[in-house]
Amino acid sequence: MTATDTTRAVAPEHGTLAKAADENFPVAPFFLPRAWRTDLMAVYGFARLVDDIGDGDLAPGGADARLLGVPEDRADDRLLMLDAFEEDLRRVFDASDGPPRHPLLRGLVPTVRRRALTPEPFLGLIAANRQDQLVARYETYDDLLAYCELSANPVGRLVLAVTGTSTPERIRRSDEICTALQIVEHLQDVAEDLGRDRIYLPAEDMKRFHVQETDLAAPTANASVRALIAYESGRARDLLNEGAPLVGSVHGRLRLLLAGFVAGGRAALRAIAAADHDVLPGPPKAGKVHLLREAGVVLRGEG
């Protein structure tokens, strides 16, 4: 048991929130106003827990299941856990049935009230994790985009809602950025996802590039896999470019935060290209220098 697991055995919500430090993206960085950080952490707690349920990464001991009213011997039933979690989410928005049972959802109540958040983005994240239990292959790119609408776009919409900056145009650009970031993560994590028997590369593209599933299980990528990864990287790059004007449309510290997200995506794509698109040994790491350089480019509005 790690130190984090030990903490979670006592108070599961603390272990979940502690994971913020290890995320690919900054969750609630120090330079943001305290009130935003508080609300972004509350939203993060929700998103982390729903992903942990969906990925089977809950702390051992069954504390989360107990809190959600799921019998201990069914705590491994991810669909049942997601249903119970969704039921508890409803108590965040409708107190007639009493307060939420899970402390991370109770912690979300003041944020939802303060920022007038709606259930949709939260329900989307639950639906994405439900889909992960039922769908392990994507036939077309459009199918994958529909998945990203549930798994990633709600995150950006929540950031805009918490910071009071939502407009239809910003939401559209935020969706482009979030979908791009999700595709980048999928490209970095091909090997890890395959370990969970999940493939997020569209089957139609695999066919076109003559890539078989067994090619993805190899320790290093052959030329076909590299060509496929380069193709999907180009799509992600285009989406990031289309969404990037979102950064210049906001001000102050939020602009810094969003520039960091776009720069993070671009730096990750650069690292993938630098690895000659061989992502199979593990995610190619983006250097800090490249990240800062990309952030400078975004902030100067040059890309």
Ligand X SMILES: CC(C)=CCC/C(C)=C/CC/C(C)=C/COP(=O)(O)OP(=O)(O)O
Q: Which stretch binds ligand X (CB under 6 A): 83-91, 176-184, 282-290, 293-301?
A: 176-184
Task: Select the residue whose beta carbon is closest to ligand X and give its number.
Answer: 156
Chain CA centroid to CA 134, Å:
18
Which residue blocks in 152-244 are alpha helix, DSSP H?
A: 153-162, 168-188, 190-195, 203-208, 213-216, 223-243
Residue 134 structure tokens: 């039922």
Q: How far is residue 303's CA from residue 287's CA, in Å, rounded to a whole number?
A: 19
Supply φ then ψ for residue 251, to 5 degrees.
Answer: -125, 170
- Does 181 contact ligand X by CB under 6 A? yes
Nearest to ligand X of 49, 155 (CB atom): 155
- Does 24 contact ligand X by CB under 6 A? yes
For ligand X, the binding residue among 258, 263, 267, 280 (CB under 6 A) is 258
98 within 8 A of 23, measured Cβ to Cβ? no
- Does 25 contact ligand X by CB under 6 A? yes
| Separation of first and last alpha carbons in the chain | 45
- Does 239 contact ligand X by CB under 6 A? no
Nearest to ligand X of 147, 209 (CB atom): 147
- Does 242 contact ligand X by CB under 6 A? no
Q: How many residues bind ligand X (CB under 6 A)?
A: 17
Listed in sequence order, the residues at least 6 apart from 258 whose beta carbon sits closer than 8 Å to its beta carbon are 177, 246, 247, 250
CB of 248 to ligand X, least distance (A): 13
Nearest to ligand X of 51, 149 (CB atom): 51
For ligand X, the binding residue among 9, 14, 20, 51 (CB under 6 A) is 51
Nearest to ligand X of 91, 124 (CB atom): 124
Nearest to ligand X of 91, 153 (CB atom): 153
Q: How far is residue 25's CA from residue 30's CA, in Å, rounded to a whole number?
A: 13
- Does 283 contact ligand X by CB under 6 A? no
- Does 261 contact ligand X by CB under 6 A? yes
289 within 8 A of 274, measured Cβ to Cβ? no
Which residue blocks in 56-189 are alpha helix, DSSP H?
A: 63-68, 78-93, 103-106, 109-115, 120-134, 141-151, 153-162, 168-188
Q: Which stretch binds ligand X (CB under 6 A): 32-40, 93-101, 135-143, 175-183?
A: 175-183
Q: Determine the 3-state secondary structure of 85 from DSSP.
A: helix
Nearest to ligand X of 91, 180 (CB atom): 180
Name residues contacting ligand X, limited to 136-155 (CB under 6 A). Answer: 151-152, 155
For ligand X, the binding residue among 12, 100, 107, 156 (CB under 6 A) is 156
129 within 8 A of 54, measured Cβ to Cβ? yes
CB of 268 to ligand X, least distance (A): 11
- Does 190 contact ligand X by CB under 6 A? no
Neighbours of 270 (CB within 10 A): 19
Q: Which residues bind ligand X (CB under 6 A)?
A: 24-25, 51, 151-152, 155-156, 159-160, 174, 177-178, 181-182, 185, 258, 261
